[in-house]
Amino acid sequence: MWIMTNNSYLSIVSKDCGPAELLVRARRAGDIEKVFPDAKVTRNTSSDYLYRAVLPRDVVKQALAAMIDHIDYPNFKDSVEDRSLHAAYVGVWCAMAGLQHPPPDIERATHARSALTSKNTS
């Protein structure tokens, strides 16, 4: 499961852990701790995701439920302040828009790309 928050990107899987646990992975330092402040995060340069933490499933469930309770924005991409994270999410938005039939209005996709360009140059 990929979890994209407005300040972190996580991959959560059932791998290299016990049945009552989940492996939470991140590509950027600090992303796991933003969602799981007490996590013991390790760094492994021989893995696809550099940062990892094994957490109890119940802890992951509680954190995800709490994130839902704190949604207060009308547009997810606009709530992302980190430029590099915003740029990555616009790329994901464009890729996923390509799966939609019919696809979104091209003006909207162009606007998303323009927003990316202006955010990266400002």
Q: Is the pTM of this model over 0.95?
A: no
Residues 6 or more apart from 1 whose CB is under 8 A from it? 11, 12, 13
pLDDT band, very low/low/confident/very high, at 16 (cuts 50, 70, 90): very high
* pLDDT, mean of residues 63-78: 96
* pLDDT, mean of residues 10-38: 98
Tokens of 93: 């938005």
Tokens of 104: 């979104």
* Side chain identity, residue 98: G
3-state helix, strand, coil in the chain (%, to 5): 45, 20, 40
Taking a C-beta distance cutoff of 8 angstroms, is the pair 4, 92 a contact? yes
Statement: residue 27 has pLDDT above 60: yes
SS3 52: strand
Statement: residue 112 has pLDDT above 70: no
